[in-house]
Amino acid sequence: MPFHRRVYWVLCIGHCPRGVGWNWQVANVPSPPQDTHRVFVRKQLLRLMRCFLLLDIAQSYIHLNPLFARSGIEARSIASQGYGMRCLSIVAWGYTPYGMITMQYSLLAAVHVGLGYSDPESWPDLFGVWRDAYTVRRFWGRTWHQLIRRFVSAYGKLACHSLGFEQGTTASSYTQLYVAFLVSGIMHSGGDLMLGPAYLGASLPFFMLQSVAISIEDGVFALANRWRAESALREVGRVVGYVWVLVWFSVSMPCYVDWAVRAGLGRSEVLPVSPIRYLYGMILRWTI
């Protein structure tokens, strides 16, 4: 193997938190693509363009919504505009990191495979499919990216070992669950601090709430099993599940978004240009 290929191989190990292709690959990584190099590159570039368009739509909604222009003591909760607008705001806000991460990943995948440094099998999708998100547990464990799964899981296992909880027990399972979201919240708190010392830890309540929601889900499933209603729950489970996940995030996301709006993030730009807002401005000029 040439020296430059060995260097590339080492860099891949250090920058592959999901462990794709290794014996320590984390759970629920999407199936690797079986496309040819040319087809794979084309798909990734098309995905990049699609994400750019959707991200521009999301960002245009945020920048044209007066609620996000306020900051500090003038800021208002996204819940103040009514339930429908609240849901739109959550989708727009949530798509921003989703779109940005996907665009970067697709660009890297297209370049590496296009130059012949990687095979398509080394670049499974970063996010899972949305149809899997019919519980909060499945949303975080399958649909959302698993980039920090191995890192946060290690702390959960360490906590269980320190407390003497045997693997597979209820105590072990929920200790790992709560510790994982605690560590994730602490990691995101580093980003909070970048906005100012006053915002350190502002993200933490949102992440801890997710472990509470998963505990509630598990309790419902346990009761259904106890009452022998598991089969009936399965029949309507996905429909009810999607509604539950939608309602849950509509309730919990404001505590993640509101503080960021107060900090002024609603006015930040994540794209260098905005074709949507450019066209919107042209239409306004034509109609006035």
pLDDT of the residue at 235: 61
pLDDT in tens, 155-211: 999 999 999 999 999 999 999 999 999 999 999 999 999 999 999 999 999 999 999
The whole-model pTM stands at 0.92
pLDDT, position 180: 98
The alpha carbon dihedral of 13, 15, 16, 18 has a sign of positive
| Residue pair 90/257 in contact by the 8 Å Cβ criterion | yes
- For the chain, give the mean pLDDT: 93
| Side-chain-facing half-sphere of 8: CA atoms under 13 Å | 11
Res 15: pLDDT = 84
* CA end-to-end distance (rounded Å), the chain: 66
pLDDT in tens, 252-266: 999 999 999 999 999
CA torsion angle 133 135 141 147 (round to 10):
60
3-class DSSP assignment, residue 29: coil
Q: How far apart are CA 100 and CA 165, in angstroms?
A: 39
Compare 108 and 233 and report the one with higher pLDDT: 108
CB atoms within 10 A of CB 167: 10
At residue 4 the predicted structure's pLDDT band, cuts being 50, 70 and 90, is confident
φ and ψ of 201, to 5 deg: 85, 5
Kindly list the domain boundaries of the chain, sorted by start residue. 1-30+127-227, 35-126+237-287
Q: How many CB atoms lie within 10 A of CB 53?
A: 13
Instruction: Give the single-character DSSP code of 65.
Output: S
Confidence (pLDDT) at 6: 80
